Amino acid sequence: MFDLNEAVAEWRRKLQREGMIETEDLDELESHLHDEVERLARSGTPEEEAFHIAVRRLGDTHELTREFSKIGCGKSRLTELVKREVQAMGTTNDSRGNLLTTLLLFIGFSGLFGLLGATAWVMVSVKLVGLSWQDAMQHFLSLGWLFLIYAVVGLGLGMKRLRRVERKRRCVLRSLIPAFLLCPAFAIAPVSYMVIAGVVIPFCMYVAVRSAIGRGELHFRSI
């Protein structure tokens, strides 16, 4: 037996998983959907058929998400994008291709930020803390080669894969944000194994949390 409320809730969840449409906009689209279903039902269309017609008229999920993602410009759009991406991290199931690309880019960006962080660490240590150039460089070199490998391999392979995946911007943002947030940890890591732990453990946690949320075992409310 067709349950309109359940069908609308499932349609809404599907849009929400895409992560680009805000709750208020979803409310508005849902209200539109109800209006159209009611109109069709009044003209004698069975409720289930009316629901499917109304959904088709509203536009498919990807089309709607793409149009909503175009709203805005400049700084406010960037803030909105980052906010939405962070919000959507826990709610979207990506394809394997997207996930692998995100992972490679994450490693690449981590390496890049690690290199920048380690360089900044050397400068600060020598200029402000008074560490000798030799000691500072020794520390830098103990980490630098690993960061460099991460950056070259991760960004090299990630960028190559990025051409083939569907959601390019999402892959970049989802790899860039956690890598950027972890940057300070990389900069002060005393030994190279900290780098491995610093990259692998947070990312595994991120993937685990996302997949748990994707399966409905965890729920995030919008930020």
Nearer to other proteins, 13 or 32 (CB): 32
User: What minimum distance in Å lies between the beta carbon of 71 and other proteins?
Assistant: 5
Nearer to other proteins, 18 or 186 (CB): 18
Nearer to other proteins, 58 or 137 (CB): 58
User: What minimum distance in Å lies between the beta carbon of 45 and other proteins?
Assistant: 16
Torsion, Cα of 101, 106, 107, 109 (10° steps):
120
> Which residues of the shown chain bind other proteins in the complex (CB under 8 A)?
24-25, 27-29, 31-32, 34-36, 38, 57-59, 63-64, 67-68, 70-72
User: What minimum distance in Å lies between the beta carbon of 177 and other proteins?
Assistant: 24
User: Side-chain half-sphere of 201: how many Cα atoms within 13 Å?
Assistant: 9
| Separation between Cα atoms, residue 94 and residue 102, nearest integer Å | 10
Angle at 161 between CA 118 and CA 185, to 5 degrees: 20
User: What minimum distance in Å lies between the beta carbon of 62 and other proteins?
Assistant: 11
Nearer to other proteins, 35 or 166 (CB): 35
Nearer to other proteins, 77 or 168 (CB): 77
User: What minimum distance in Å lies between the beta carbon of 136 and other proteins?
Assistant: 49
Centre a 10 Å sphere on the Cβ of residue 182 and count the other Cβ atoms it contains.
20
Q: Where are the alpha helices (DSSP H) in 89-191?
A: 96-124, 133-162, 168-188
- Residue 128 Cα to chain centre, angstroms: 37
